[in-house]
Amino acid sequence: MARNVTVAWVYPTTRTSGRPIIPTDIVGVELSMSLDGVNWTLWDTILAPNLSAEIPDLEAGEWHFRGVVRDIQGLSSAPLDGVITVPDETAPSALQSLTVTLV
């Protein structure tokens, strides 16, 4: 059974220099996803001031998400990763065999 997942974040208040970042300088978050934490696919760019995104219909398994903040100058933050396991809520498979004998 596929499930929807919400990914939420908090925008930074400073640049890597430690100086404050003006909230209007943040364009948004590039949200990527992966099944193995190695091979990433860009899912979408979520524009500021949005603080979350809903990913629909994820199949069972371990899903990795990565957020990167983009600013109006085209600069990108370091990535921040998160992981969630979507449970397999399907019924068990049928018996592999069933033997019926007279006694």
The pLDDT tens digits for 30-50 are: 999 999 999 999 999 999 999
β-sheet with 61-71: strand ranges across: 41-47, 26-34, 61-71, 80-86
Question: What pLDDT sits at residue 102?
Answer: 95
Question: Is the per-residue pLDDT at 1 higher than 90?
Answer: no
What total number of domains does the chain contain?
A: 1
Residue 98 lies in a domain: no
CA–CA distance, 24 with 19 (Å, rounded to integer): 15
> Is position 92 within any domain?
no
Residue 97 lies in a domain: no
| Cα 15 → chain centroid | 23
d(CA 12, CA 35): 27
Q: What is the CATH number of the domain that holds 56?
A: 2.60.40.10
Is 80 exceeded by the pLDDT of residue 93?
Answer: yes
pLDDT > 90? residue 2:
no
Query: Residue 10's pLDDT is what?
Result: 98
Residue 22 lies in a domain: yes
d(CA 73, CA 89): 45
Q: Percent of the chain, pLDDT > 90?
A: 96
The residue range of the domain holding 76 is 3-86
Predicted TM-score (pTM) of this structure: 0.87
**Cis status of the peptide bond prior to 49, with omega within 30 of 0:** yes
